[in-house]
Structure 1
Amino acid sequence: MALVMVLKNMNYDDIAMIDAGFWAIYRKIKLQGGIFSFKNHEYQKEWMANDTKRVCYMKATQGGVSEVEILRSTHGLIFKKYKQGVLVFFPTSDDVGDFSKSRWNPLILANPEYIGRYVRAGSTTGKGKGTDTTFLKKIGDGFLYLRGARLSQSLDGSEKVSSKISSIPVDRCVFDEVDFMDEAVIDKALGRMAHSENKEEVYISNPTLPDFGIDKIFKKSDQRHLFRKCECGELTCAELSFPECVKIRPDGTGYIGCNKCGKEVGFADSEWVPAERDNTGYMRGYRWSQLSSIYNDPAEILEQYNNPPHGLGDIVRLRLGLPYVATEDKLSKDRVYECCGPYMMPTSSMSQCAMGVDVGKMKHIVIGERTGRDRYDILKTIRLSKWEDIHDIARSFNVKFAVIDIRPYEDEARRFQKAELYKIFLCEYNDSSPTSPVFNADGIVKVNRTEILDATHRLIIEQTVKLPRRSAELDVFVQQLCNTAKVLETNKRNNTSIYRYREVGSSGDHYRHALNYFYLAASKIGIARSNQRPRQKQAINENTKM
């Protein structure tokens, strides 16, 4: 109410200085599709008026989110809200070039009076060549930095940095297509706002996988959905009511029907409603789908959802704005628990065992034995912080062969490798060329990352690995096994596609990689004889006593 009273006492020029949406309409800002307007884009009103520190958009394609954030950034630079500057990130430098040429430059050229005249020549030091370039633009007194989110090589094997952002101070960071960015780049970029009074964060992306990227960010927000009000008073959200909300007219076209009375509901009376109001102070989050666009027929979306022309994933992600993973590309907890037997984890073993170790500040260890040509029993899953503790448990389980993650602490891993009496190889993943595991004479085993993850995926699906009975530690193991998902990635430069596994969720995937290393190590030991394995019977007897 106070803001309304202030605006009533201001002229249009003054209002345009503080309200990006009003400025875009008042100045008739020209976009590629015509003069900016909220007509047929009513859902964008709240986006343009948003003044929170953090906002995220989990969206389908063609919703106009990027254009909205372009205008908000430009408006803030022109009217000195972002005095230090704005940093906009894209997945690659090629994406930066495409976006700059197709979006930013046409916007500047089409609006010479209200945008173009604020784009100035000069450099960051006031000398040298002009800054109206693909990657850098000076707008007003601030700078617009356009960068690709690729990291340079690691320093000391543990921390990756990007020299392109190391000395940039900004007030606002926009991450466009965040699902295709390294999380480390996001953390580094946010550090560029340490001296800012504003510190605005914007996350935009078509979703890819559940609990990954924009979906993980959206879950931390207040999770807003667009609700439409029917004449009967009922509120209907197309995104949350799909597919039941789609009704078909006699001519075959579709519309969104009221959840209560079934009548068509439009956008005349609509509002964004947060599902998690307690999170509003931290971040506003918007999920938008093509069901909320007048330019898309709901009947067509429904038909493609029921009969996807090129796989369901594209329809769910790009038209409905939801993450998606096929059941065959990600393990489920239920499927992993099906591999559990009745025995508890033993404290030792007399049979020869293999061990896999994923290295971090906390080491994740998987120990087990080979029981057949391609069959395995996992005896122990445990997390330890000290190398000497790994030595002790390896001795207790008669470990004869181990594979250990070579990074990020290569020197420590090599010292441990040299000190132990059993055979140890350090593992290097190969993301490019397919290859069978190669155990080199220098104590390094090289393996294709996707192929080894495929192999341990099959262990669970085909139930050729047995796990101990459920326990608190096994629950952690199971969760982390499910924290990877297989996706098809396309290299835009050479137009090639390759399957890769991505980490999803927030609890890590360390045990999944420890299982990979165990699987490699187990291939180098013999098959355990049944008379060497009394621990199952002992464990069952112990369970009976409990």
Structure 2
Amino acid sequence: MGLINELVGKNLKGLTFPEYCLENIVLDDKTPFNVYNRAFMKEIVESIFLDPHVTISKGAQTGFSTLFLAHGFYMVDVRGANLIYYLPTDKMANRFGQTRFDPYVQRSDYLKSRLLGTDQAGLKQIGTHFFYMLGLVSKTGAISIPADEIIFDEVALINRENMDLAQDRIMASKLGWQRYFSAPLFEEDGIDELYRDSDTRKWVVRCTGCGRESILEEEFPENIRDERKKKGRIYLACVKCGKPLDVYNARWIAEHPDRNRTGYRVPQLIIRETRLDLIWDRWLKAQGKPAKLARFRRSVLGIADSGNMQPVTSKVLEIVEAAGDYYFQDTSEEVCGIGIDMGDRAHVAILAPYGEEGFRILAAFHIDVEDLLLRIPDWEAAYNAGALIIDAMPYKTESKRVVRILQEALGFIQYFKATYRETTEGEDDREVRVIQVDRDESLDDTTALFATNPPQALLFKPRNTEEEKTLDEIRRHLKKLVKEETTGPDGAKKISYKRNVENHFGMAINSARLALEMVRSQQRKSGPPVTGGRVIGRNIAADIVW
């Protein structure tokens, strides 16, 4: 044992986590880390050592990177766990190691004595166990490494499918802990989606004057008092009696205590040291500016707000579903458009006309790609398909087979290019039609039909549990048709729909809308009349010379 201790240092198994932090975690200002320096942290600290699944939706600069880094040190060093700390990209993971992990080690003689294997940026050995820091921009970071605990930082920016895949890393562990924290971004996406699936705990402040309880971030800005013109201060006040609120005279209350996943929302307002004057001035300057108001709500209140970057929200879908009054359909007498998004599974959307430009989603399916060819003939016949558009990538060979198997419907493989174009690919009997569309413009056209009032895109009602699951998936994928600001090679900024997110049904609906436009275009040229959005006649595809 003496030789082992000489090589890796002697750990401190007798210390609790708060004691460990006070002795060995030194903050940037050279003070010891007191995990209980804020009243609301006590229950959270207890939860991350008790509950297997913890989610924290937080405001910016609320101290959770420090907390979870210290937690990671303790788990690997004292509890003998192997831990993976995930960030959105490898670059962010490397920077985290250099600017957060390494400085904390350098400020502690004890941690320096315990650290081995420092030659790899993303792998640190503490004693006999390992602390990994990995990016999740691709599936590579999610595979191969077993762990006892996985921590996800900046969840709002992590690809959800890769994050789900990373959960396999803890399947063989008796511990199997998962921790997620981030400032929120889009509604019901990323950390907001995880928080809504939890027991949704909120910090409820009790007024010492009238006893009324309130959730500060939900009553902002009505609970702010600005008395600076009277040489006073800005403070949080009870909206009933007006008395100043003590943000630490409060407790965590779960909105859904029956759920088995623990979740907290931590706004900046519940931190006693928060500069309310800066927060209030920032709020005033953001008035009339949707993008700035959205950033304020996310970073200060810890509440997801996409501004104008999420065209299809829960509120939009509520209006859409209220406007529709029909059920999932197994067949159609109207000529329909079919769209298919290809991936590990194929997502299929079938649309019928609604009005002059809109559509009704009649049916939707998600199946294994290898089963797709078996289903296409049935769908073509049952839904009276006039046109079908399918992703060219990532399985171009399979997509071409789908197009070739069509009996009457017009079929295209689809590429996203800046300029609209219809062309062909291949020769003789291998030739297939190709459609090129601008990705952002086409998605704008699709999402606008949902967001129009009244909506011009409608959703079916489910008839059974399976169709309800499909409808839930469609809702989720539509809400993930979100935008982000990107910078091109020339340095110019552009707003584009985000890639590599779980929006498969949204993309399938977009392709189906384009297919329906093909049908309408042919009908305008030579087809039967359209009345009230309904095509008269069974299958005009057979009558049209494509």
Q: TM-score, structure 2 length as denominator?
A: 0.77
Tell me what 1:265 maps to.
Answer: 245
1:41 aligned onto 2:38 = yes
For 2:246 and 2:269, the matched residues in 1 are separated by: 11
> Does the alignment pair 1:274 with 2:257?
no
Q: What displacement does 1:215 show?
A: 0.7
Indicate the RMSD between aligned Cα atoms, in angstroms.
4.0
Read off the aligned partner of 1:110 and give its amino acid letter. R
Distance 2:84 2:488 in 1: 23
8 Å CA contact retained: 2:325, 2:461: no
Q: 1:330 aligns with which of 296, 307, 311?
A: 311
Provide the secondary structure at the position in 2 that maps to 1:62.
Answer: coil
The letter of the residue matching 1:248 is D
Give the letter for the 2:414 counterpart. Answer: C
Conservation of the 8 A alpha-carbon contact between 1:223 and 1:275:
yes
Q: Deviations over 1:249-298 (max 9, x none)?
A: 3336321223553322224543323222222xx33212111112234333
* Cα drift, residue 467 of structure 1: 5.8
Tell me, yes or no, if the aligned pair for 2:449 and 2:457 is still in contact at 8 Å.
no
Which residue pairs with 1:356 in the alignment?
339
> Does the 8 Å contact 1:353/1:398 carry over to 2?
yes
In structure 2, do the counterparts of structure 1 residues 208 and 263 end up closer, same or farther at CA, with 3 Å as the change threshold?
A: same
- Structure 1 position 146 matched with structure 2 position 143: no
Are the counterparts in 2 of residues 178 and 214 from structure 1 also a CA contact under 8 Å? yes
Structure 1: gaps (5+ residues) = 1-12, 121-129, 152-160, 540-546
Q: 2:145 aligns with which of 165, 168, 172?
A: 168
Residue 26 of structure 2 is matched in structure 1 by 30
Contact 2:199–2:262 (8 Å) recurs in 1: yes
* Structure 2 Cα separation of the partners of residues 463 and 210 of structure 1: 20
1:247, 1:255 within 8 Å by CA — same for their partners in 2? yes
Q: Which moved more, 1:358-367 or 1:230-239?
A: 358-367
Equivalences for residues 54-453 of structure 1 within 5 A:
54-79=53-78, 81-83=79-81, 85-112=82-109, 114-120=110-116, 130-151=117-138, 161-162=139-140, 164=141, 166-232=143-209, 233-249=211-227, 250-251=230-231, 253-279=233-259, 282-308=260-286, 311-326=292-307, 329-331=310-312, 332-333=316-317, 336=320, 347-349=331-333, 354-358=337-341, 363-368=347-352, 375=357, 378=360, 380-383=362-365, 387=373, 389-395=375-381, 399-406=385-392, 410-422=396-408, 423-429=410-416, 434-437=418-421, 439-442=423-426, 443=432, 444-453=434-443
Please say if residues 77 and 126 of structure 2, whose CA atoms lie closer than 8 Å, have aligned partners that are also in contact: yes
Q: How many residues align?
A: 494
Distance in 1, Cα, partners of 2:361 & 2:161: 35
Q: 1:494 to 1:134 in 2, by over 3 A?
A: farther
Structure 2 counterpart of 1:82, which letter? G
1:378·1:468 contact (CA, 8 Å) conserved in 2? yes
The alignment partner of 1:143 has SS state of strand
Q: Distance in 1 between matches of 2:111 and 2:148?
A: 20
Q: What is aligned with 1:9?
A: none
Does the residue aligned with 1:247 lie in a helix, a strand or coil? strand
Give CA-to-partner distance per residue, 1:3-26, whole Å, 9 cap, x none. Answer: xxxxxxxxxx9997352112212x
Deviation digits for residues 7-66 of structure 1, max 9, x if unmatched? Answer: xxxxxx9997352112212x1631113312357533333333331222111011111001
Q: Sequence identity of aligned pairs in percent? A: 22
**Tell me, what secondary structure is at the counterpart of 2:147?**
coil
Secondary structure at 1:315's aligned position in 2? Answer: helix
Q: Are the structure 2 counterparts of residues 355 and 197 from structure 1 closer, same or farther at C-alpha, using a change threshold of 3 Å?
A: closer
Deviates more, 1:514-523 or 1:285-294: 514-523
Q: Which amino acid aligns with 1:401?
A: A
Instruction: Specify every segment of 5 or more residues in structure 2 that has no aligned partner in the other structure, as ranges.
Output: 1-9, 427-431, 537-546
**CA distances 1:57-99 after superposition (whole Å, capped 9, x unpaired):** 10111110010011111012221x133x111111111111221
Name the residue aligned to 1:487: 483
Q: Which residue is 1:514 aligned to?
A: 508
Q: Is the 8 A contact 2:330 2:382 kept in 1?
A: no
Q: Which amino acid aligns with 2:269?
A: L
Partner of residue 445, structure 2? 455
Q: 1:268 to 1:15 in 2, by over 3 A?
A: farther
Residue 383 (structure 1) shift: 4.0
- Residue 191 of structure 2 aligns to a residue whose secondary structure is helix
Q: Which stretch of the first structure deviates more once superposed, 87-96 or 288-297?
A: 288-297
**Counterpart of 1:514 in structure 2: which amino acid?**
A
Displacement after TM superposition at 1:353 (Å): 5.4
Q: Distance in 2 between matches of 1:441 and 1:43?
A: 62
Q: Tell me: CA distance 1:438–1:297, structure 2 relative to 1, closer, same or farther (3 Å).
A: farther
